[in-house]
Structure 1
């Protein structure tokens, strides 16, 4: 009777100590640690079984000073290795090994596993959940004493441990439900959202749009009020086949591959893929990492799909505004120069032309700036009419323009272009100018692609040639090589 009362006092003290902590994991670790110190053993541990894998995992462990932890090595232990333990538990008994050397002949594998952990003697009790064995609770190298009394003590502890493990499971479930609830709030900005187990392919639908809903499978497993579905990749592949236009389908299927998502998400907060659906609307899909398992492997992700059609339109509009001269519709100086530099870096030869309107200040002073603007717009239209589709046209500013004509390397071809351009410029008729013609001066420079050259070098050469053209009356063009 005194022994039982002593045990109850120790257990009550252990519970008080454990309940000083906030989370179930901390409470369980404190609880077993308290007994490890009280008993004077080397190690106390909890193993929890996974029937699906037919394996048991070391989920909690306390070690005395100087004892090397074994929890990392004791994961996914095949239950067949210690099947005789489970047979002992099934008879309503605990496993008591007073000397592991006694196992050497009959249970060789168990013997080698225990010896590798420097276990000399051990007492192990089953953990029950709803009258079924779901794991065990053990003590390595307890002081050699009354093992039967120790077993009774451990049985009492095991009952409390089962209660703590149930509390832990409820805590985790509540956290998961709260997490899913928070994702439901987040999903308002998305058309669809999935919560996916990367390792199993099972997924929970946080939100799904009507566009995707009709492609859902009919088989479903109910878990509480949530629906858990199998084979995320198969489900989303069927959707992709139905909604993606052909040029984006292959990339979309590569993006949803769960087998590579962990590698692609490494050190990233998310990864995205953009595609056009059969409504001709832009969509963006995104993977977001949620958590990792005990081994540091990616466990859950969010997969989200949002419509970004309006965003793309704004983006394209902003890009157009950033790259375009709004008065003429040609490239502005920045974007046009960047495109020319790309050709120069690729050693693509061609002809750079610089041109401006002769006596343009007089046009502004005589007819006003509105007419001056009309002249600039008319010259830009004549340039577009005269150039080829892949030529780069840009307005440098004011009445100054530039053209880069990739592949034009012959002087005869250049001269034909000048004639065509001058003819189109000559057809400009601004009513307010009362028949006065718009005239331009042009300087040009060839680049043969033989050596590296900067845009500034090419520009200076063409500018020198244009300066020579300015000295002549009427339409004039000068090529730098002629100077």
Structure 2
């Protein structure tokens, strides 16, 4: 390839130029791939400079012209390139440069334009400098691109260094090559994770030795590389929370780090931070927001939400509304503290009686139980079967002893609505019908339960 470039260049020494080509190729300067090449040769003895301009046309390299100049001090060079050459040669002649080959960049026009020179010194048999061969090219655009790349890399490093102070681990993803690099990590994570590898290897390592078993599917879906770039598109980050063996509860984010011209994410950062304390606080606040403070049952908000969720998934169900008989009398004659004790005992009895079902305190002395499952389906075949579902609750309440009641048993009246088909049914629908049934029960003796089938 080098011989083709320098073919038929006339005055220039072909062997010397071939040496130059080899030197330039060794420096990864692919002359043949450039659109235009400015070659020169400076002969030290007669202070003569040759310029050869070579360009490519239809894929072939051809010589455009050869120019011959004398480099005397009085010669007025018309182009910056030639002036640069003269300065370079004089540096050599005056002994200020000693490297046999090399390169340098320097500005040659106002406005920040840069010229790059790659050169090779040729010596005679006595070791005396005979000539200098070289190539010039305008690297302004390349230099600007390189500076922008460096600036971008520096910005990334500033961001990463900032992230290191906030996160326990940072992993860099190349979504095009599907590789990862561990930027920073705790000792525990380093012990189970390689510094570099494929993203599939990382997923396997995490699922095997890092993420708790019950959260493996969540983590696998979160880090799924098949659609990760698509899920990140147009977003600042995506987030997941899961439990790990080493850090406890972790909040992880995948943050886009680079986006190509098409708007597709090509690189991303996986960050992890320990959230054990935050998770405990969140659980505490959630429980406080969803739990009745006195009885420990679900409160109205949480119970309604759970029932609505269950209705959307089940075909049959029983909605039962209860209130405590003579509760106002207990509060008025025995004190509200005794009344609170009664409510606590009722809640405990209902939880034990209706295990794995939704039990909630609606407010005051009213409670709701929502029952589903195969047992309900079997008992729905007859009204007597449904009555039997609540007999155990009555028996359990009879076993409750509160000294202030002086042997009087706690009884509850109820209104029950049984559904063979829950499709289209709302919480309000069930509550309204159960309340009507409860009203009927309250007109009868204490402990009565009225059942309606729909």
Would the TM-score normalized by the shorter structure come out above 0.5?
yes
- 2:325, 2:447 within 8 Å by CA — same for their partners in 1? no
Give the match for residue 94 of structure 1.
53
Give distance in 2, aligned partners of 1:347 and 1:171: 60
Q: Displacement of 1:376 after TM fit?
A: 0.6
Given the alignment of the two structures, is residue 455 of structure 1 paired with residue 427 of structure 2, yes or no?
A: yes
1:339 aligned residue (303, 306, 323): 306
Distance across 1 between alignment mates of 2:316 and 2:369: 13
Post-superposition offset of 1:240: 4.5
- Structure 2: how far apart are the matches of 1:84 and 1:356? 90
1:306-321 mapped onto 2 (5 Å cutoff): 306-321=273-288
Give the C-alpha shift of residue 332 in structure 1: 1.1
Counterpart among 247, 252, 262 of residue 219 in structure 2: 252
How far apart in 2 are the matches of 1:217 and 1:473? Answer: 73
Q: Give the aligned partner of residue 330 of structure 1.
A: 297
Answer 1 or 2: which has greater helix percent: 1
Cα distance in 2 for partners of 1:392, 1:331 equals 8
Q: 1:202 to 1:166 in 2, by over 3 A?
A: farther
Cα deviation for residue 306 of structure 1 reads 1.5
CA contact (8 A) 2:193 2:205 kept: no
**Equivalent pairs, count:** 350
In 2: Cα distance, 1:267 partner to 1:386 partner: 51
Where does 1:178-327 land on structure 2 (aligned, <5 Å)?
178-200=155-177, 205-215=182-192, 217=194, 231=198, 234=201, 237-249=204-216, 251-253=218-220, 255-256=222-223, 258=225, 260-279=227-246, 281-327=248-294
**1:401 positional shift:** 0.8
1:442 alignment counterpart = 414
Distance change (3 Å), C-alpha of 1:474 and 1:248: closer
Q: CA deviation at 1:86?
A: 7.8
For each residue in 1:115-150, what CA deviation from the matched residue of structure 2 results, as whole angstroms up to 9, or x when unmatched? xxxxxxxxxx9xxxx95799xxxxxxxxxxxxxxxx
1:405 aligns with 2:375: no
Q: Distance in 1 between matches of 2:186 and 2:116?
A: 53
Alignment partner of 1:392 is 2:358:
yes
- The verdict on how the C-alpha distance between 1:339 and 1:235 changes in structure 2, with shifts beyond 3 A counting, is closer
Once the two structures are superposed, residues 165-221 of structure 1 have per-residue CA deviations (whole angstroms, 9 ceiling, x without a partner) of 446534532442243133212222211113444334566644221112234658xxx
**Alpha-carbon contact 1:356-1:400 (below 8 Å) kept:** yes
Which structure has the greater CA radius of gyration?
A: 2
Q: Determine helix, strand or coil for the equivalent of 2:252.
A: strand
Q: Tell me how far 1:365 sits from its aligned partner.
A: 1.0
CA displacement at 1:443 relative to structure 2: 1.6
Does 1:479 find its partner at 2:439?
Answer: no
Q: Is the 8 A contact 2:414 2:438 kept in 1?
A: yes
Could you say if the C-alpha distance between residues 478 and 284 of structure 1 is closer, same or farther in structure 2, counting changes exceeding 3 Å? same
Show the counterpart of 2:91.
none
* Further displaced range: 197-206 or 455-464: 197-206
Deviation per CA, 1:299-328: give whole Å up to 9, x if none: 332221122222222222222222221211
For residues 346 and 171 of structure 1, the distance between their equivalents in structure 2, rounded to whole angstroms, comes to 56
Aligned residue for 2:401?
429
Task: Check whether the contact 2:38–2:137 (CA below 8 A) recurs between aligned residues.
Answer: no
Residue 177 of structure 1: which of 132, 149, 154 is its match?
A: 154
User: Are residues 295 and 472 of structure 1, via their aligned partners in 2, closer, same or farther at CA, if it must alter by over 3 Å?
Assistant: closer
- Give the gaps of 5 or more residues in structure 1: 1-50, 57-78, 109-124, 135-153, 219-228
Aligned partner (choices 315, 320, 332) of residue 348 of structure 1: 315
Provide the rounded CA distance (Å) in 2 between the counterparts of 1:285 and 1:90: 59
Offset of 1:474 from its aligned partner?
3.1
> Equivalents in 1 of 2:221, 2:360: separation in Å?
40
Structure 2 runs not aligned, ≥5 long: 1-24, 42-50, 62-80, 82-100, 106-114, 118-134
CA distance 1:132–1:204, change in 2 (3 Å): farther
Once the two structures are TM-superposed, the CA of residue 368 in structure 1 deviates from its matched residue by: 0.8
| Counterpart contact for 2:181–2:197, Cα < 8 Å | no
Higher strand proportion (structure 1 or 2) = 2
Matches within 5 A, 1:359-378: 359-378=326-345
